[in-house]
């Protein structure tokens, strides 16, 4: 074949076409990568990172709806109801015609269902009742503090078994703040707001605040501060309740939050936790003022919560580990003091019996009976009318105790019958039902009490300061029964609230805490100055020191005093009072005031005396007179209470010498 000449264009046209095609391919690839990065197909559509989450959620919803709406072949189920009908009437199954009626219980109780449930989405949270004005009890003691409280748990116990927690001894001023919670009224408010079938109100906290009187003697609402109540256990911290939208745009609560709400509700429904929230225990007292025992009516309330309404009457759970009666029964009653009015003495004894009978305090009943029966045992010493009265009252006591024993026995037998019949048990009888009208003490609450005593202890170290005057107020904090249930509430945001707080009570009456350091002027002279007697509360006991001061000297200082400490019986103690002697007036003219009859006083002629002017750290001036301080009852009381070590047994006494042995006969 002959060769042909190929031009330059023809020779490179094929390469040019391939290059253009390659450039187009590269352009398409680059354009695709730049315009549609990281897209994946979901349900036939390409989704970018901005829409992939929503697309996946929608695809998951479609799959879920498809599963829910799909039809399936139900497996065959054998009907079992006819078998239950036959088992309920065996005579009919056996073709036996009954000739006598079957025994059935009569008078079956009809449950009181109360109000019907509220319409969904219309419920508003019920208000919390206001507590009455608190009452206060104060003291100064050395106590064993549990400095690191544990956390409440289901089955928590704080009774006589105690808890193995580390303790430290501290000398503190303390105040018990107490009020009453009307549980029945709160249940009525709950039923009105929530309808029937509501549970008992669950108390989460007895919120207590304190304020101090200002130096000018005024009070201010700006001064209210929360106290840290003493307790050996605390509730666990809870997180926020979060609302979110569901698949159908409805409000719902996170599953983890619902679990936390359920666990917290079960915790505060535990009887031991409920009792400790309402009535926390006081720390163990080592020295100083004892904690006032609340009484057997509180033990009855504790028992009702801990063991239910069907606890045998009189079997009270004593979580306070103290003896309720002040003393045991006396075999030989000493009788009333000489000169006592017999009728009044018998009446007081019957009042004591009523109080003990109402709470079934057997010790108290025996003591009261012995007081009355004393006149019967010694009838020859007393007027016949008094003896007859004592015999009547003794017989009345015996009859009441016999009636109560029969009532309890009948109650136990009836409950045994009801248990066999499958009926609910009867509530425990009330001893007050046997007492004549008006005889049951009002302070005693037994059975299922509608009013619960509640208190807190302001007793932490350096919390209550001596020399200050305080007021307290309280309010109840309840668990929100609709926490985590936005569908039920008119305002769904109420479902995010853990607790419902009540209004504050009226402020308590003021209480003044005696200062830990007190001083009195003993004497004053121009040459020696002023002599002071300073008393200080130190580690659970009162100690004192004497100091002599001139003008512009501070009253007090460091001095040694005896304390009940074997390791250091005479420590160096700081007796500084914070007062400074400003002036000593030896020529003050005063007119002594004396009582003049029932209508007033009279003033004697002017006399010269000594007055001492002192200034405290805030600049306030006070004036003291030695003659007045010497007669102050507080001065005498402090001198009497100063710690004195017990006397040591003497070891240098001569041993007793007996009679010398008589010489025997000579051999």
Are the C-beta atoms of residues 126 and 115 closer than 8 Å to each other? no
Q: For residue 112, is pLDDT > 70?
A: no
Are the C-beta atoms of residues 463 and 171 closer than 8 Å to each other? no
Residue 595 binned pLDDT confidence (cut-offs 50, 70, 90): low
Between CA 616 and CA 579 the distance in angstroms is 4
Q: For residue 261, is pLDDT > 60?
A: yes
Higher-scoring residue by pLDDT: 361, 222: 222
Are the C-beta atoms of residues 489 and 251 closer than 8 Å to each other? no
Closest Cα to residue 162, out of 302, 283, 289, 298?
Answer: 283
- What is the DSSP code string of 31-98? HHHHHSTT-EEETTEEE-HHHHHHHHHHHHHHHHHHHHH----PPP----HHHHHHHH-HHHHTTPPP
Q: For residue 632, is pLDDT > 50?
A: yes
Write down the residue that tokens 């005031």 correspond to.
593
Q: What is the pLDDT of residue 559?
A: 92
* SS3 at position 327: coil
Q: What is the pLDDT of residue 111?
A: 57
Higher-scoring residue by pLDDT: 415, 560: 560
Q: For residue 191, is pLDDT > 50?
A: yes
Residue 158 binned pLDDT confidence (cut-offs 50, 70, 90): low
Q: What is the mean pLDDT of the chain?
A: 80
In percent, the amount of the chain with pLDDT more than 90 equals: 20
Highest mean pLDDT among 120-129, 133-142, 360-369: 133-142
Q: What is the pLDDT of residue 63?
A: 83
Q: How far is CA 205 from CA 23, 124, 278, 301, 554, in A?
A: 78, 22, 8, 18, 46
Instruction: State the maximum Cα–Cα separation within the chain, in Å, rounded to a whole number.
Output: 184
Give CA torsion, residues 271, 272, 273, 274, to 10 deg. Answer: 50
Write down the residue that tokens 């460091």 correspond to.
558
Check residue 107 and give left, alpha or beta (phi > 0: left; psi -120 to 50: alpha): left
Structure tokens at 628: 């007045």
First to last CA, the chain: 182
Half-sphere exposure of 438 (CA within 13 A, CB side): 0
Q: What is the pLDDT of residue 448?
A: 46
Structure tokens at 4: 């042909």
Average pLDDT over residues 298-326: 59
Enumerate the H helices of 269-337 as residue ranges: 271-278, 296-307
Mean pLDDT check: name the lowest of 141-150, 342-351, 548-557: 141-150
Mean pLDDT check: name the lowest of 241-255, 377-391, 526-540: 241-255
Please, which residues bridge with residue 287 across strands? 142
Q: What is the pLDDT of residue 13?
A: 78
Residue 489 is given by DSSP the state B
| Phi, psi of 543, deg, nearest 5 | -125, 160
Between CA 364 and CA 68 the distance in angstroms is 70
Q: For residue 8, is pLDDT > 70?
A: no
Cα angle 535, 537, 540 (rounded to 5 degrees) comes to 140
Helix 362-377 and helix 342-358: axis angle, to 10°?
A: 160
Structure tokens at 417: 């019958």
Are the C-beta atoms of residues 177 and 259 closer than 8 Å to each other? no
Residue 412 binned pLDDT confidence (cut-offs 50, 70, 90): confident
In percent, the amount of the chain with pLDDT more than 70 equals: 78
Are the C-beta atoms of residues 521 and 489 closer than 8 Å to each other? no
Residue 56 binned pLDDT confidence (cut-offs 50, 70, 90): confident
Between CA 561 and CA 573 the distance in angstroms is 7
Are the C-beta atoms of residues 137 and 157 closer than 8 Å to each other? no
Between CA 78 and CA 83 the distance in angstroms is 11
Structure tokens at 134: 């608190």
Q: What is the pLDDT of residue 117?
A: 54
Closest Cα to residue 516, out of 136, 177, 145, 139?
Answer: 139
Highest mean pLDDT among 120-129, 175-184, 373-382, 596-605: 175-184
Residue 658 binned pLDDT confidence (cut-offs 50, 70, 90): very low
Q: What is the pLDDT of residue 604?
A: 72
Report the run of H or E that residue 421 belongs to, with start and end: helix 384-421
Structure tokens at 386: 């008094």
Q: What is the pLDDT of residues 421-450, one digit of tens each?
A: 878 777 777 787 888 877 776 544 444 467
């Amino acid at each position: 074949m002959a060769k042909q000449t190929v031009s330059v264009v023809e020779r490179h046209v094929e390469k040019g076409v391939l290059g253009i095609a390659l450039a187009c391919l590269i352009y398409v690839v680059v354009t695709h990568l730049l315009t549609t990065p990281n897209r994946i197909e979901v349900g036939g559509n390409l989704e970018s990172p901005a829409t992939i989450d929503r697309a996946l959620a929608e695809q998951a919803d479609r799959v879920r709806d498809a599963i829910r709406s799909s039809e399936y072949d139900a497996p065959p189920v054998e009907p079992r109801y006819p078998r239950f009908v036959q088992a309920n009437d065996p005579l009919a199954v056996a073709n036996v015609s009954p000739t006598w009626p079957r025994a059935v219980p009569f008078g079956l109780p009809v449950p009181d269902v109360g109000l019907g449930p509220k319409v969904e989405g219309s419920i508003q949270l019920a208000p919390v009742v206001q507590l009455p004005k608190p009452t206060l009890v104060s003291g100064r003691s050395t106590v064993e503090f549990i400095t690191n409280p544990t956390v409440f748990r289901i089955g928590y116990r704080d009774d006589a078994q105690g808890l193995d927690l580390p303790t430290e001894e501290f000398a503190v001023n303390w105040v018990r703040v107490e009020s009453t919670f009307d549980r029945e009224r709160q249940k009525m408010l709950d039923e009105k707001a929530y309808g029937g079938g509501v549970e008992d109100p669950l108390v989460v906290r007895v919120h207590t605040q304190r304020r101090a009187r200002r130096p000018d003697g005024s009070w201010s609402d700006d001064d209210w501060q929360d106290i840290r109540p003493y307790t050996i256990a605390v509730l666990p911290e809870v997180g926020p309740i979060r609302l979110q939208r569901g698949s159908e745009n409805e409000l719902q609560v996170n599953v983890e939050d619902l679990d936390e709400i359920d666990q917290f509700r079960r915790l505060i429904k535990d009887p031991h936790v409920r009792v400790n929230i309402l009535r926390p225990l006081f720390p163990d007292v080592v020295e100083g003022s004892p904690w006032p025992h609340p009484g057997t009516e509180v033990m009855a309330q504790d028992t009702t919560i801990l063991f239910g309404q069907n606890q045998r009457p009189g079997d009270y759970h004593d979580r306070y580990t103290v003896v309720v009666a002040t003393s045991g029964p006396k075999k030989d009653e000493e009788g009333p003091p000489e000169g006592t009015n017999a009728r009044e003495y018998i009446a007081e004894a019957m009042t004591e019996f009523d109080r003990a009978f109402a709470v079934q305090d057997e010790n108290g009943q025996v003591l009261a009976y012995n007081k009355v029966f004393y006149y019967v045992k010694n009838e020859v010493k007393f007027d016949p009318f008094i003896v007859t009265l004592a015999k009547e009252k003794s017989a009345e006591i015996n009859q009441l105790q016999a009636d109560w024993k029969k009532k309890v026995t009948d109650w136990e037998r009836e409950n045994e019958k009801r248990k066999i019949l499958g009926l609910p048990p009867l509530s425990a009888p009330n001893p007050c039902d046997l007492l004549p009208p008006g005889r049951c003490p009002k302070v005693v609450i037994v059975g299922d009490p509608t009013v619960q005593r509640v208190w807190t202890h302001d007793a932490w170290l350096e919390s209550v300061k001596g020399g200050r005057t305080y007021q307290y107020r309280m309010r109840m904090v309840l668990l929100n029964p609709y926490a985590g249930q936005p569908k039920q509430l008119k305002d769904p945001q109420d479902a995010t609230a853990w607790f419902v707080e009540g209004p504050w009570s009226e402020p308590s009456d003021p209480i003044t805490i005696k200062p830990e350091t007190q001083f009195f002027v003993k004497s004053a002279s121009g040459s020696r100055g002023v002599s002071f007697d300073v008393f200080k509360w130190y580690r659970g006991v009162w100690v004192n020191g004497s100091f002599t001061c001139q003008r512009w000297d501070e009253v007090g200082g460091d001095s040694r005093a005896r304390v009940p400490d074997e390791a250091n019986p005479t420590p160096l103690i700081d007796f500084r009072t914070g007062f400074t002697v400003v002036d000593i007036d030896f020529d003050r003219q005063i007119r002594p005031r004396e009582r003049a009859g029932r209508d007033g006083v009279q003033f004697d002629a002017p006399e010269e005396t000594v007055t001492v002017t002192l200034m405290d750290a805030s600049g306030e001036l006070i004036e003291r007179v030695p003659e007045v301080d010497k007669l102050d009852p507080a001065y005498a009381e402090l001198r009497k209470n100063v710690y004195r070590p017990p006397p040591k047994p003497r070891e240098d006494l001569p041993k007793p010498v007996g009679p010398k042995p008589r010489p025997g006969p000579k051999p």
